[in-house]
C-alpha cells in the first residue's frame, strides 16, 4: 500500500492533482507524467484538460496501472470530500476487487463479479 495520508487528498477528481501528489511523494517520475499526457502542459491547462468524467476515469485507470507496475496494490489518502463536512478521514483506493476482504468474513472467498477484474 502506498500511504499518501501526509499529503492530504490527492484529488482523484482532478487526475493532475493526483499525479502531482505522486510526484511530490517521489513515486511518479517525469516519464510517468508523460504517460498521462501531462508533460509539457501548463498547470492550468492540465487541470482544464481532464474535466470530462470519462477522461478522468481513463486517466485514473492509467494512474492505478502505473502504481501497480511499481508494486503497489492500493493507496491510502486523507479524504476531506466525503461526507463533505471538512473533516479529514483516512480513505483507501484498492486497485483489484479480489484484494478486498470484509472484516467479518470467516474465510476468504473470491468475489463473484459481473465483469472480470482487470
Specify burial of residue 26 (Cβ count, 10 A radius: 0-12, 13-18, 19+): exposed
C-alpha cell at 70: 511499481
Categorize the per-residue pLDDT at 118 as very low, low, confident or very high, splitting at 50, 70 and 90: very low
pLDDT of residue 107 exceeding 60: yes
pLDDT higher than 90, residue 53: no
Sequence-ordered list of residues with C-beta below 8 angstroms from that of 28, at least 6 positions apart, any chain: 19, 22, 66
What is the pLDDT confidence band of residue 95, given thresholds at 50, 70 and 90? Answer: confident
Average pLDDT estimate for 106-118: 56
Write out the three cell numbers for 87. Answer: 473533516
Check residue 111 and report its DSSP letter.
P
pTM for the model: 0.73
Amino acid at each position: 500500500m502506498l500511504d499518501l495520508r501526509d499529503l492530504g487528498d490527492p484529488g482523484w477528481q482532478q487526475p493532475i492533482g493526483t499525479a502531482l501528489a505522486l510526484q511530490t511523494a517521489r513515486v511518479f517520475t517525469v516519464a510517468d507524467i508523460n504517460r498521462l499526457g501531462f508533460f509539457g502542459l501548463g498547470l492550468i491547462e492540465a487541470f482544464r484538460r481532464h474535466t470530462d468524467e470519462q477522461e478522468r476515469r481513463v486517466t485514473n485507470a492509467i494512474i492505478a496501472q502505473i502504481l501497480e507496475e511499481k508494486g503497489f496494490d492500493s493507496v491510502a489518502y486523507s479524504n476531506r470530500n466525503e461526507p463533505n463536512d471538512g473533516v479529514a478521514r483516512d480513505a483507501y483506493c484498492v486497485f483489484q476487487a479480489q484484494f478486498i476482504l470484509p472484516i467479518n468474513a470467516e474465510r476468504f472467498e473470491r468475489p463473484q463479479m459481473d465483469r472480470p477484474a482487470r
